[in-house]
Structure 1
């Protein structure tokens, strides 16, 4: 079965240098790689988050009304780009423009170990067409996933924001490595000994240990 092109949270070497090495000693090299990838996806599914490095994920967001703290700045002197954006909005009967949205994936812990970048942003407006936003004009905060448009960007409330970006832990926190190892061990035990449990390991207990370590990373 084809596997995701991804970097696992725990490598085969990390898994086999510890107490679980006997579990996969009879597995082929590809099978060992596959189980670490499957365990990584299981960890991400349990957390409802992407944790391993990913590239080119595309999400859609709905633009809401401009945040109240920006409203006070709406009528201060503006640069030419902002003036054009507001003028266009007013000509079409809109007086509010969205300036903020949040990408779904950002680091729940240890933001210093996370790397993220935005490749493209497109605005699909409910009226007046579409627009690509210049990446150099936005502010992107990788630790919170917050993105701020340049003042005057023509993004009326209700606009669909299409963002393509990359992110993930380039250096995986130690507790995530261990959680992935527990998850992989649980999967290996179930594959090797689904009924008699003669391996000496309880797959349910191993999975429970993995979920306990993943709890701080789980989306709230």
Structure 2
């Protein structure tokens, strides 16, 4: 089984250099690295979303109806480039209605979108009545870091009801300082649960640490 090895929101060195150094002084380096991975995943679990950089996350979406505000834009009277003209012509020849233009990725930056990045966005359309297509990057606008919005260029043959399969990389390439703090707080809480569950040896209260972390992470939770 492959090991879970994300880039942690805070490093082992970050934890060992601060106020929790006394808690982890006897941890082996590999054990400390694993602790930070566990704390990172705990942060993501509380928030219900990915935060650390991730690779090749798969998603599937059902193509929903076109926004009524776009009906005029989709009119054949609007000038289009050659790709849009061909796509619209193909859709009309098959007797389809207005084409879907939008999809929203599940993972995006809840805060600080300037620190978030998407790469390697791959989109495949499985049409509702047969046939599939890998969408060329030139036919996509986005994804947008602050919303996960991906916009299909006018003329992309994407009928309502089709299945949209997406694979992409993303996450915080620069970790916000408060997220790093939450990760360290949860890591310290995990350590206390292992070596001092009664809370009598090190002067740290596990419940307080967890509460402090959750107060930070509530700003990153899905709403």
Q: Please say whether Structure 1 and Structure 2 have the same fold, judged by a TM-score greater than 0.5.
A: yes
Please list the CA deviations of residues 54-112 of structure 1 after superposition, one character each: whole Å capped at 9, or x if unmatched.
11111111111112222111222333332332333334332111010111111111111
1:153 aligns with 156
In the alignment, structure 1 residue 202 sits paired with structure 2 residue 205:
yes
Pair 1:35–1:174, CA change in 2 (3 A): same
**Equivalent position of 2:72 in the other structure:** 72
Q: Which segment is superposed worse, 142-151 or 31-40?
A: 142-151
Q: How many residues align?
A: 220
Report the secondary structure of 1:123's partner residue: strand
Separation (CA, whole Å) in 2 of partners of 1:117 and 1:158: 27
Distance apart, 1:196 and its partner CA: 5.6
Between the aligned partners of 2:149 and 2:38, the Cα distance in structure 1 is 30
Separation in structure 2 between the aligned mates of residue 205 and residue 2 of structure 1, nearest angstrom: 34
Q: How does 1:10-159 map to 2 (within 5 A)?
A: 10-75=10-75, 76-140=78-142, 141-159=144-162
**Contact 1:63–1:157 at 8 Å: present in 2 too?**
yes
Distance 1:131 1:211, change over 3 A: same
Cα gap change, 1:182/1:196 in structure 2, threshold over 3 Å: closer, same or farther? Answer: closer
Whole-angstrom distance in 2 between the partners of 1:196 and 1:177: 24
Give deviations 1:32-75, integer Å, cap 9, x for gaps. 00100000000011001111111111111111111222211122
Is the 1:3–1:34 Cα contact (8 Å) retained in structure 2?
A: no
SS in 1 for 2:89: helix
RMSD: 1.6
- State the TM-score, normalizing by the size of structure 1: 0.94
Write the distance in 2 (CA, Å) between the matches of 1:31 and 1:123: 43
CA contact (8 A) 1:107 1:168 kept: yes
Q: Is the 8 A contact 1:3 1:37 kept in 2?
A: no
1:191 equivalenced with 2:194 (yes/no)? yes
The CA deviation string for residues 165-194 of structure 1, in whole angstroms up to 9 with x for no partner, is: 111111111100100000000000001122
Confirm or deny: 8 A CA contact 1:86 1:95 kept in the other structure: no
1:169-180 → structure 2 map (5 Å cutoff): 169-180=172-183
Consecutive unaligned residues in structure 1, runs of 5 or more: none
